[in-house]
Amino acid sequence: MTETTRFMDAALEEARKAAARGEVPIGAVVVLDGKIVAAAGNRTRELNDVTAHAEIEAIRQAATSVGDERLTGADLYVTLEPCTMCAAAISFARIRRLYYGAEDPKGGAVDSGVRFFASPTCHHVPDVYSGLAEREAAEILRDFFAGKR
Ligand SMILES: [Zn+2]
């Protein structure tokens, strides 16, 4: 198993844990120097906080753990294409590489929608790798919403 696969697996695990809590199943991990320094899933319902997306939660945890608002050299793995808010947070946190699973044509902002990183007002652009464990990431979401109906 490659490192990348292992870290995306950890993000998928966070997505499954979010589903078990009744949250939209999206998970994220932050990796620094080959180690996971933060792992989180969506907590918008639990916290009554629309900003508590997996990526934001993981970035907050990582920043606390590192003791710096900037996560220079850190990589973020997330199961779904980040939204506009999270793409901005990823840029502000100076994330080095972004790995995401499934595309989100409805809410994504990296390769879909506003394509935040390509905008002239985005001052730090991470390297982006998409399509990791894409099927599994999409399946977790599909199963969750199918169960709701
Ligand atoms: Zn988001």
How far apart CA 122 and CA 89 sit, in angstroms, is 11
Ligand 1 centre to CA of 8 (Å) is 17
pTM of the shown model: 0.96
* Torsion on CA atoms 9, 10, 11, 17, rounded to nearest 10: 110
Write the CA distances from 15 to 20, 104, 126, 137, integer angstroms. Answer: 9, 15, 23, 8
- One of 3, 14, 46, 55 is an active-site residue; which one? 55
d(CA 86, CA 33): 22
55 in catalytic set: yes
Q: In what order do the strands lie in the sheet with 127-130?
A: 35-41, 27-32, 75-80, 97-102, 127-130
pLDDT in tens, the chain (149 residues): 799 999 999 999 999 999 999 999 999 999 999 999 999 999 999 999 999 999 999 999 999 999 999 999 999 999 999 999 999 999 999 999 999 999 999 999 999 999 999 999 999 999 999 999 999 999 999 999 998 75
